[in-house]
Chains A and B, each alone.
Chain A
Amino acid sequence: MPNIFITDQCDRGCKFCFAKVGPWSESYPRRALTFAELQEILEVKSSQPKQVMGVVGGEPLSYPQLIEAVNLMREKRIFAKIFTSGSCALADGLEKLKEQGPFNFIVNIDSIDSYTPERRKNLERFLRTFGPMVSLSCTIVDPERDLSFLLDYIRDYGLMRYIRMGVALPIAGLAENEYIRRERYRDAGLRFLELAKKAAADNVSIGCDCGFVACMFEISEIGWLMHKGMKMQFVCGPAMDIGPELEVWHCFPLSRMPRVSLRKYKSLEEARQALQSMADQLREKYGPGIFTRCRECRYRKRGQCSGGCLGLIVPEQALSEVKPKIGSSVSQGDPSCPISC
């Protein structure tokens, strides 16, 4: 599922945010999408099957024409998944969105005591307004931290019974954000498992976003998690964030890698292949995975695990050395990258 990077504006300032650097440069200055660009993206998308798109930022709720954007997506029969903090001030009239489904909000959330009083008020109002249209997303930054508060939100506000869990990922080659070091991956896996046990008892499913690796878990744990309905996946592929000028980048950890233009490629699939080909080149040279043991790992060889996020192992200067290719030599990756699920 590709994402429309609708705006670069965000007032949240999460320390783990991997979007804070982005693909911006002198030749590609940071800005929000124009509405004309949005229409152009939707024209390309509406010609494809599987009509689901993420709307990401920045903070999409700060985009002045969000209501028009959602209406346009609905007209094109594209299901929108809007990624938000849920804690910014709601623009006037945004409540109207409630009647304009179908779409859903994915709220990246933290424990309630981490918000300022004003943000807490905004968040509570947002969850009360959009409750059943909201699923939660949470990023594991500190594996020591208990995550049970997520289940409280679901109970208290009647949210969708699914949580998308991420691990905090670095921006390749840069030390700009907080992320989980490789030596803490097993601890993060145990934290995920602990939450899953509580979630199962509450009839809530949790799933893995990008960056999880199979060896964060024992085989018996993977079996248990799957048996309880948790969505386990360890495969990485282009998230495909589409920004101004219809430029597409692989994902935020690799946002400094060359972009491809939707105006140049005939379809989203071709653009995906071009991005995947560059990730393949990096993985071949610097990988295959985040651990040395990935080289011999049966799960990686069989495509069950990609070996983790390239952001952890690729130096910044390498990002500009790769060139896009399309064709049969490009690996599949995971065409529906879990980042947007």
Chain B
Amino acid sequence: MPNLMLTNRCNFNCSYCFGQDQMPPAVSPLDMTRETFVQLIDWTLRDSSNGIMVHLMGGEPTLHEDFVWMAKHALERKCELKVFSNLASKHAPEYAEELKDAPIRWVVNVNPPESRTKDQDSNLKKCLQVLGLKATLTFNMVPEPVAQEWLIDLICEHNLARDIKVGFVLPTLSHKNEHLEKKDYPKVAHRVVDFARRCESFDIKLTYECGVPWCAFTPEQMGELWHLNSTFFSSCNSVLDVTPDGRVIYCLPLATFRSPHFTKFQSYPEAKGWFEAVLMPYRPLGSTSQCFKCTFMKITESACRGGCMARVLHGAQNVGLGDENEKV
């Protein structure tokens, strides 16, 4: 179940974007070809023992002129489809209309309203109106406090799925993007709990993106989040991404870590196994000096892992970055 990056172009320029090492201007603009896409669907279906979910993402996937064709092709091949989009591009409303009855889940990344132009705002709302319950909002917590009530308004006005996926903005391996530092976690955790309280009265629950260390929350906050039906869970066990030119990366924050071409692996599970083996030696390090002696990390090897691996590897020495031609 890979994330297929249809294009590395995006219609936003978010300061926190953890994909920016893989996007212009860091690299040239690039769209996935139909041929590569078809090959990748074949590759995904070669071993479907873990299901046949395919995620379409970007950049902004609706900027790709073949977006609808690709979505339909994946559906024809019986893939279960999820699209990660901001739905604010020029053609997004037309695509949403065309695909509204298809069995697709839409995960919509949204920033505060003031970050959208009038047209972008209008496009987003047209899409949400069409997609309704098929759309789930996702929102990134940045270091500075920002208003969040507008998320509740969007859900209620457009009858969207009643959950919000919350991300703590992650660093890229290069740490060039705006991201949370460890010192930011307590205040952001406080804001999350506060937001969960407000969401609960609208029967909205929070779920969480990867890479958040469990010690960001206190036991009391954990208990309250459970009480509010916004139980905290975050891990680092990424669905692999495939770039427009067919290179496999562990996740966007680790885009500059290792990136063999997908044709070097027989199947998706083989690629996933390879990446996990490569990362395994770094897992116990954690992202801070406290992680080494953390009981929780030792108990739940599959859960916390000390937060985002981009933070772990940034602090590690002599990390092998590999190259395009590396043997796997």
Contacts and interface: CB of A to CB of B under 8 A. Distances in A.
Interface of A: 49-51, 77, 161, 200-201, 203-205, 219-224, 226-229, 232, 299, 302, 304
B131 to A, nearest CB: 20
B228 to A, nearest CB: 10
Contact of B221 (A50, A223, A228): A223
Given A49-B48, A49-B51, A203-B298, A229 B222 contact: no
Interface string B47-76: 011110000000000000000000000000
B188 to A, nearest CB: 17
Contacts of A51: 49
B227 interface: yes
Nearest to A206: B299
Contacts of A50: 50-51
B305 to A, nearest CB: 12
A302 B225 CA distance: 14
Interface in B258-300: 295-296, 298-300
A77 B218 CA distance: 40
Contact of A200 (B217, B221, B295): B295
A49 B53 CA distance: 11
A222 B222 CA distance: 8
A223 B49 contact: no
Given A77-B49, A302-B229, A228 B299 contact: yes
B101 interface: no
B220 A223 contact: yes
Interface residues of B, number: 25
22 contacts: A50-B51, A200-B295, A200-B299, A204-B299, A205-B299, A219-B223, A222-B223, A223-B218, A223-B221, A223-B223, A224-B219, A224-B222, A224-B223, A227-B214, A227-B217, A227-B219, A227-B296, A228-B219, A228-B295, A229-B214, A229-B295, A302-B229
A292 B283 CA distance: 47
B301 to A, nearest CB: 9
B195 interface: no
A229 B219 contact: no
Given A203-B298, A232-B226, A304-B231, 12 more contacts: A49-B48, A219-B226, A222-B227, A223-B222, A223-B225, A223-B226, A226-B223, A227-B214, A227-B219, A227-B296, A228-B295, A229-B300
5 nearest CB pairs, A to B: A223-B223, A229-B299, A223-B222, A227-B219, A229-B300
Interface string B199-229: 0000000000000001001111111111101
A205 B219 contact: no
A227 to B, nearest CB: 4
A227 B48 CA distance: 34
Nearest to B298: A203
A226 B226 contact: yes
Contacts of B226: 219, 222-223, 226, 232, 304
A304 B298 contact: no
Contacts of A304: 226, 229, 231
A302 to B, nearest CB: 5
A201 B300 CA distance: 13
B303 interface: yes
Nearest to B214: A227
B190 to A, nearest CB: 15
Nearest to A227: B219
Contacts of A205: 299-300
Contacts of A227: 214, 217-219, 222, 296
Given A49-B49, A219-B224, A219-B226, A226 B232 contact: yes
In this complex, the member of B218, B226, B229 whose beta carbon has the largest number of chain A beta carbons within 10 angstroms is: B226
Nearest to A231: B300
Contacts of A223: 218-226
Contacts of B219: 220, 223-224, 226-228
B293 to A, nearest CB: 11
A201 B49 CA distance: 37
Contacts of A49: 48-51
Contacts of A302: 229
A297 to B, nearest CB: 12
Contacts of B229: 299, 302, 304
A77 to B, nearest CB: 6
Contacts of B303: 229
Contacts of B48: 49
Contacts of A161: 299
Contacts of B299: 161, 200, 203-205, 228-229
